Amino acid sequence: MDKSYAKAQEYDRCDTLSGFRDEFYIDDEKIYFDGNSLGILSKRAEKTALDALKSWKQYGIDGWTEGEEPWFYLSERLGTKTASLIGARASEVVATGSTTVNLHQLVSTFYQPKGSKTKILADELAFPTDIYALQSQLKLKGYDPEEHLVFVNSRDGKTFDEEDMIEKMTEDVALIVLPSVLYRSGQILPMKRLTKAAHDRNIAIGFDLCHSIGVFPHHLHDWGVDFAVWCNYKYLNAGPGAVGGLYVHHKHMAQTPGLTGWFGSRKDKQFDMEHDMTPADDAGAYQLGTPHILSAAPLIGSLELFEEAGLEQLRKKSLALTRYMMELAESKLEGMGFSIANPREDEQRGGHVYLEHREAARICKALKAKGIIPDFRAPKGIRLAPVPFYNTFTEVWRVIDRLQMIMEKETYKKYKNQRGVVA
């Protein structure tokens, strides 16, 4: 028996979180390593989604105020249950919108150009939607993105040096928007230090947590982070297009949201139907339209699992899984043209391993043909995310073993080296 496979089996025997795998719908014919794009369905999420349908069936419009999970208060309740994952107060978090809508909301609130302080600082490796939103917000305020959207540059095209980020926090910067984890390389940015550096220079700062929430603990309130946005369909497993989330630090609660809508009203005033809005005195004020109950309901069940497993334990296993994967990649894929492009250090690595190869697109297609679900990122990236809730060390071994086989037999050459419509 391969010693590395025996090691994987031993790791699985010692895994205190192994029981959570039974909570998810696992396809035994596949190995799913794309949970950093879309987490798989849990039985809890399915139940709470069906419960929402039953509530609609039973109560009709009275479902807004009756049943186990009255819809009128659901966004705030989900915010309360999410708060512990990001180190926030319950009043600072609400489940609403989507990542892009919430980013528009918060940039429109916190981007307040004045005098020569007009620029927004982002990073050149940001997920495109963040850049589109920032460009749009600049244009809405009459500024040219070519001049007023400035970028921190990466030295290697994969990661950032935090000193370079701080150096870019110049006197003309009014707002900073950065990812907590880089979506390609999985590098964790030092949010606490960057927030302090921004505040020392009188700059508001917010983070996109899409690739970090549910992966490791945050302390947004204590760090003083001004705002944050995220999706709930990756590591939080709330389903495709699930409701998003946002956080606003308590010190900003008196500030009027940049965008307003009737669900941002104080609950006891909302149905007075007055044209003078009375905003909620918590993060609920940043809601816009009527919440999408059926896309929020699965999150109820998903968050139950996080409460039971504990984020610290999930992080411990996640690091062990990715560490083991890197060890195997180095030993089994040596000389095959791969490079590990994510940080090696535990404190700098998110929840996935990022391999680069010039034939990455066709390699991903070959992996899928072998029943392995990876994630391709142009131009040459392969993201592999072993999720601690439902993936095993044995699966990690099998993924690298099959990858080795694909390269040795050159079966990837049967495919075109270009992405599909959705990658």
3-state class (DSSP) for residue 393: helix
* Residue among 263, 286, 251 nearest 106 (CA): 286
Could you tell me the end-to-end alpha-carbon distance of the chain, in angstroms, rounded to an integer? 36
Residue 73 counted as an annotated binding residue? no
For 158, phi then psi, to 5°, come to -130, -35
Q: Is 130 annotated as a binding residue?
A: yes
* 153: region left, alpha or beta (phi > 0 left; psi from -120 to 50 alpha): beta
401 carries a ligand binding annotation: no
Q: How far apart are CA 51 and CA 279, in angstroms?
A: 30
Q: Per the annotation, does 208 bind a ligand? A: yes
Residue 128, annotated ligand binder?
Answer: yes
**Residue 412 and residue 406 in contact, taking contact as beta carbons nearer than 8 Å:** yes
Amino acid occupying residue 233: Y
Q: Is 279 helix (H, G, I), strand (E, B) or coil?
A: strand
Do the annotations mark residue 164 as ligand-binding? no
290 labelled as ligand-binding? yes
Answer yes or no: is 123 a known binding residue: no
The answer to whether the annotation marks 262 as part of a ligand binding site is yes
What is the side-by-side order of every strand in the sheet holding 93-95? Answer: 93-95, 245-248, 227-230, 204-208, 173-179, 119-123, 149-152
Residues making up the annotated binding site for pyridoxal 5'-phosphate are 99-100, 127-130, 208, 211, 233, 262, 290
Residues making up the annotated binding site are 99-100, 127-130, 208, 211, 233, 262, 290
